Amino acid sequence: MELLTKLGINWQLLLAQIVNFLIVMGVLGYFLYRPILNLLDARTERIRKAMEEAKRIEHQAQEMAKVREEEMKRLDRESGEHFDRIRKEALELQSQMHATAKKEADAMIQSALKRIDEERRIMMEDVMKTVNTVIVRMTEKLLEREFTPADQKRIQEQLIAELPTMVR
Amino acid sequence: MASIEPPTLASETIAHIGSFEIRNTLIMAWLAMAVVFVVILLARRTKFKEVPGRFQAFLELIVEGLFGFFDSIIGEKKATRRFFPLLATIFLFLMLANWMGILPGVGSITIAEELHGEILNLPIFRSMNADVNMTLAIALISVIATQLFGIAALGVLPYANKFFVAPWRDPIGAFVGILELIAEMAKIISFSFRLFGNIFAGEVLLVVISYLMPYLAPIPFLGLELFVGFIQALVFSMLTAVFLKMAVTAHGTSHECDSATGGHEHGHDEEHAVEMVHA
């Protein structure tokens, strides 16, 4: 008891201090800790949700990137195939056109040759006619000067008869 | 030269309300409470917003920091949330009171009182925790709360089994139970006298230093007292957290632990707490 007196322990004061502490604890708990902890919890929850959302979006983006990559690969493959097909078709078309052009050219050459032959034949006939006429005229002139009309007629007829063999 | 007047062990009575003594430490307790209420009023006035201002951010920093600290000891968020008002109030209220105890005027502003025909100069303000009544009050609250939380978590009988074991069934357990019971009582004494001793010793130290070298020399000691005030509040709240955790842990788990580790784990939490305090 002497020690308690020396230390100044007083039951009323002890009780008062207990009450003081409980009041402080109650007030702090109700007006400070609870609202702040609730706020922090709400903030943590919101951050967690945002993180989850971000993770989900990231996952979605990864999926989309994968799909895009696959789509690009498919498009590459398809465009390659398409290009090969078109190239093949172009080559076929080219060879077809070549063949047609060659055929047309051959036909044109043939017709040209035919036309040349025809023209040469006509020209030769014209030349023959002209030469015949010239010879006949020259012969007429010559015979008129040197031979009698009877001789002229005979030679003329003889010449006309022999002329084709002479020209060849 | 004035003679040195070291503070007395008992706090001084300044006034009376009926038979109730108003002591200088009680006035300091009221002042500390007033500071707490002002802080709360300011906090309520600013309202807790989603995007905090400076003051709210400061309060959030304290509350979040303390919650994280106690959660690291208790290890279960739900339990920490339940114990948090008690633990945080012990820490904040004790630290505030300890720091207020080194304010200028505390211990130096006196009032003349006549006692047994002798005029005494009694300090109006004295550090709250330099009075065993206050430290004992918080120690009692801490220990009683520990028992109540333990009973609430485990039930009356399982909790009582920590202390009362039939000696014919487990003689060693019965002896350990008695020791545990004594340890619970010892906690009150160790809690209250550790805090009282440190704060009272700090008061005496400051008085002596101020008497020997009134200028500049007390400054480092004021810094030391700030540190001591912080550490003592931390130790008190941390030990309460450890005891609370031990109280709500089923007795069987520690026995299983003991048998699994050959008894080396006995009192592991307490050792852990002591290590943390030393650190």
What is the Cα–Cα distance from B147 to B143, expressed in whole angstroms?
6
| Shortest Cα distance, chain B CAs vs residue A12, angstroms | 7
What is the Cα–Cα distance from A159 to B203, expressed in whole angstroms?
172
Interface check for B139 against chain A (CB to CB < 8 A): the answer is no
Supply B52's token pair: 């905090």
Interface check for B148 against chain A (CB to CB < 8 A): the answer is no
For residue B6, the model assigns a pLDDT of 74
pLDDT tens per residue across span B37-76: 999 999 888 788 888 888 999 999 999 999 999 999 999 8
For residue B255, the model assigns a pLDDT of 44
- Residue B134: inside a domain, yes or no? yes
- Whether B9 sits inside 8 A of A6 (CB atoms) is yes
DSSP string, chain B: -PPP-PPPSSPPEEEEETTEEEEHHHHHHHHHHHHHHHHHHHHHHH---SS--HHHHHHHHHHHHHHHHHHHHH--HHHHHHHHHHHHHHHHHHHHHHHHTTSTTTTTSEEEEEETTEEEEEES---GGGSHHHHHHHHHHHHHHHHHHHHHHH-HHHHHTTT---TTT-HHHHHHHHHHHHHHHHHHHHHHHHHHHHHHHHHHHHHHHHHH--SSTHHHHHHHHHHHHHHHHHHHHHHHHHHHHHHHS-HHHHHHHHHHHTTTTTTHHHHHHHHHHH-
- Whether A33 sits inside 8 A of B92 (CB atoms) is no
In chain B, the percentage of residues whose pLDDT exceeds 70 is 89
Q: How confident is the model at residue B27 (pLDDT cuts 50, 70, 90)?
A: very high
What is the Cα–Cα distance from B102 to B209, expressed in whole angstroms?
13
Number of domains present in the structure of chain B? 1
Task: Using CB atoms, pick whichever of A5, A22, A33 lies closest to residue B84.
Answer: A33
What is the mean predicted confidence (pLDDT) over B231-240? 95
Task: Using CB atoms, pick whichever of B48, B63, B141 lies closest to residue A18.
Answer: B141
Domain boundaries, chain A: 2-167
* Amino acid at site B190: S
pLDDT tens per residue across span B83-132: 999 999 999 999 999 999 988 888 888 888 777 778 888 888 888 888 89
**CA distances (Å), B3 to each of B6, B8, B206, B207, B236, in order?**
10, 15, 15, 11, 35
Place of tokens 């026995």: B255
What is the domain extent for residue B43?
Answer: 13-248
- Residue B194: inside a domain, yes or no? yes
Contact A33, B40 (CB under 8 A): no
* Amino acid at site B149: F
Regarding predicted confidence, which is higher, B278 or A21? Answer: A21
Q: Which of A56-65, B183-192, B268-277 has the lowest mean pLDDT?
A: B268-277
What is the mean predicted confidence (pLDDT) over B176-188? 91
What is the mean predicted confidence (pLDDT) over A52-78? 95
Within 8 A of B64 by CB-CB distance, chain A residues are 36, 40
For residue B169, the model assigns a pLDDT of 84
For residue B161, the model assigns a pLDDT of 85
Closest chain B residue to A9, measured at CA: B133
- Whether A39 sits inside 8 A of B48 (CB atoms) is yes
Interface check for A18 against chain B (CB to CB < 8 A): the answer is yes
Supply B47's token pair: 């309202």
pLDDT tens per residue across span B245-270: 999 887 655 444 444 333 444 445 55
Closest chain A residue to B80, measured at CA: A37
Interface check for B251 against chain A (CB to CB < 8 A): the answer is no
Interface check for A109 against chain B (CB to CB < 8 A): the answer is no
Query: Cα-flanking dihedrals φ and ψ of residue B119, to 5°?
Result: -85, 120
Q: Model-level pTM greater than 0.80?
A: no
What is the mean predicted confidence (pLDDT) over A21-25? 95
For residue A167, the model assigns a pLDDT of 64
- β-strands B13-17, B20-23: how paired? antiparallel
Interface check for B40 against chain A (CB to CB < 8 A): the answer is yes
For residue B275, the model assigns a pLDDT of 56
Task: Using CB atoms, pick whichever of B44, B85, B137 lies closest to residue A17.
Answer: B137
Regarding predicted confidence, which is higher, B150 or B259? Answer: B150
Residue B25 C-alpha from the chain's centroid:
15
DSSP state of B155: -
For residue B259, the model assigns a pLDDT of 40
- Residue B41: inside a domain, yes or no? yes
Chain B interface, mutation test: which of A21, A27, A40, A43, most B Cβ atoms within 10 Å?
A21
Q: Mark which residues 77-96 of A lie under 8 Å from B by CB.
A: none
For residue B9, the model assigns a pLDDT of 81
pLDDT tens per residue across span A111-151: 999 999 999 999 999 999 998 889 888 877 877 777 777 87
Task: Using CB atoms, pick whichever of B50, B88, B131 lies closest to residue A33.
Answer: B88
For residue A168, the model assigns a pLDDT of 60
